Amino acid sequence: MLSKDFLKAGIEARVGKPPYSEAVLYDIANLIAGDSHFGQAQRSGAPYILHPQHVAMGEEFSLRQRTIAILHDVIEEKENAWTVEDLQDIGFPQAILRPLAAVSRRSSEPYFDFIERLAMGEKKYAFSLQERLDAIAVKKRDFAHNSDNTRYMHFFDQGELDKADAYNVAYFYLSEIEGTLTAKRDDIGESFKIIDFMQRHPAYSSTPESIHRANELLERFSSTKRRVVRQVDVANDLDCSGPHSLDDGPVN
């Protein structure tokens, strides 16, 4: 792994000092990600850099979203890892850094808590509507790739199955938030949590078995003490027949 100062000096020698165009920022992001993930491997044995590169290739992605995607695993809680401040010093603007911070899970942060923070945006950072949508789009494509079990040369064990189910919950929760943001509806407030989504969704609250599974996932992946309870008429509360149907989920 090259030093950050060495990379910064090399970038400035090649393309000058910031501000940079979106195209140049994308090239810089690829350089940083390639260096950061050098020597790392996916569970399949493939070079790790292929994962963020795949995420960045979303068909509808803007160049800004591709840049966020290629960097989405760079900010980590480890020695000499890149930070938001480091990337700002390189020349990345807040329109990239805020969504990138949102899609970066913090050390010891419960998984569903992380997803809720990503979805709602942190008020202290004054996320714009587009920045929230960028973060959600990148994370949903990350889910889809992480949940593709054809990438792996083994069957999922129970822990991996639990994680895949958690990805599925998070994917459809983010889809619900994304839909309201895109349509600029106000039927979901700033305190809409994953437990609220599960409570209103028939896949997680309509039978004793689905409720039990929902609560198992909350127990493992969330800090909330609330639990799903059965709602007799919950099936009428949410239309699941559209593009966010569970049949279209990232988990095969």
pLDDT value for 150: 66
Euclidean distance between CA atoms 76 and 136, whole angstroms: 19
DSSP calls for 156-215: --HHHHHHHHHHHHHHHHHHHHHHHHHHT--SS-TT--HHHHHHH-HHHHSSHHHHHHHH
Task: For 53-106, write each residue's pLDDT tens digit.
Answer: 999 998 899 999 999 999 999 997 666 789 999 999 999 999 999 999 999 998
Reported as a pLDDT band with limits 50, 70 and 90, residue 146 is confident
pLDDT value for 1: 79
Nearest CA to 70 out of 131, 62, 78 is that of: 62
CATH architecture of 1-104: Orthogonal Bundle (1.10)
Tell me the domain boundaries of the chain: 1-104, 105-252
